[in-house]
Amino acid sequence: MNHTTHRPANARRGLWAVLTLVITAALALGTTATATAPASHLPTAPKPTIVLVHGAWADSSGWNAEVTRLQQHGYTVIAPANPLRGLKSDSDYLRSVLLTITGPIVLVGHSYGGAVITNAAVGLTNLKALVYIAAFAPDEGDSLGSLVSMNPGSDIEASLETRQYPRPDGSEGTDLYLSADAFHDAFAGDLSHRTTDQMQATQRPFAASAFSDLSGLPAWKTIPSWYLVATQDHAIPPATQRFMAERANATTVEVSASHVAMISQPVATADLILAAAQSVA
């Protein structure tokens, strides 16, 4: 009798224990779901638009390898034509392009393009990173001429040819070209002569006035910067590149490359741009 009497009580206690475990587990799952559910709806930072700016004696096709790789990573890329008519006017033109872009921007410059981005980016709140590829990163009052002559090792001055051109106001300006016999060694020594012969024939002229124009307030004083030093550069001496990179407090990498590192070392160049772009997120 006693055995029969206590069996339902034990069963009831066992049932309540099971129900308690089930309820506790359900509450725990509900709490976890409530805590984690919003995470799937958190907004992600938009990917920046990457703007690539070429330098003198070149055009935007020099960025082709980087454009492809950056697009493969899901970035919107723009590589506008740099007019090469003068530092202020070129910077104003680039700034007009930047003002049409909504969302964050990573701005990249090669060679003279570095001076242009330094001036064009000042005061733009959506400009999140500057990337210099074997580029000029001038401070206020600097000129390209003063920087290129700061250290020995540049073959550019000895490689120049000049041609006159008419300005809109009727005056005459001077365009600078790199001569056929010097182009390879001075500009792109790690590319084949066949390639550099084509580059020399299709080069875009560079207004001589841009070489002496004084740079304004530099954007790198307020915008995080990255710098790729080309250690075999015969246009901008590597020592000068290192000086500018350090002065700008830039995250710096060095590669064995001629002045056109974006062509001869496209993976290293794209990787540095990607590092800057990922820092924005």
Rounded Cα gap, residues 25 and 23, in angstroms:
5
**Would you list the DSSP string of 189-251?**
TTS-HHHHHHHHHTPPPEETHHHHPPP-S-GGGTS-EEEEEETT-SSS-HHHHHHHHHHTT-E
Regarding whether 137 and 28 lie in a shared domain, the answer is: no
Cα separations in angstroms, 173 against 14, 55, 147, 206:
98, 19, 23, 11
Edge-to-edge strands, sheet with 160-166: 160-166, 172-178, 206-207
Task: Write out pLDDT tens, residues 187-223.
Answer: 999 999 999 999 999 999 999 999 999 999 999 999 9
pLDDT at 6 over 70: no
Query: 194: domain range?
Result: 49-280
pLDDT at 141 over 70: yes
Regarding whether 196 and 126 lie in a shared domain, the answer is: yes
Regarding whether 92 and 34 lie in a shared domain, the answer is: no
Regarding whether 122 and 31 lie in a shared domain, the answer is: no
Angle, CA of 179, 182 and 184, to the nearest 5°: 115
- Higher-pLDDT residue of 31, 226: 226
pLDDT band of residue 281 (cuts 50, 70, 90) is confident
Regarding whether 127 and 235 lie in a shared domain, the answer is: yes
The domain that holds 91 is classified in CATH as: 3.40.50.1820
Mean pLDDT of the chain: 89
> How many domains in the chain?
2
Q: Which residues contact 78 (CB under 8 A, 6 or more apart)?
A: 49, 50, 51, 52, 97, 101
pLDDT band of residue 14 (cuts 50, 70, 90) is low
**pLDDT for residue 158:** 94
Q: In 10 A of CB 198, how many CB atoms?
A: 12
Regarding whether 150 and 18 lie in a shared domain, the answer is: no
- With contact defined as beta carbons under 8 Å apart, do 215 and 142 qualify? yes
**pLDDT for residue 27:** 47
Regarding whether 88 and 37 lie in a shared domain, the answer is: no
Regarding whether 99 and 37 lie in a shared domain, the answer is: no
Regarding whether 192 and 167 lie in a shared domain, the answer is: yes
Regarding whether 65 and 34 lie in a shared domain, the answer is: no
pLDDT band of residue 262 (cuts 50, 70, 90) is very high
pTM: 0.85
Task: Write out pLDDT tens, residues 147-194.
Answer: 999 999 999 999 999 999 999 899 999 999 999 999 999 999 999 999
Regarding whether 81 and 54 lie in a shared domain, the answer is: yes
Regarding whether 132 and 174 lie in a shared domain, the answer is: yes
Task: Write out pLDDT tens, residues 35-58.
Answer: 444 444 556 778 999 999 999 999
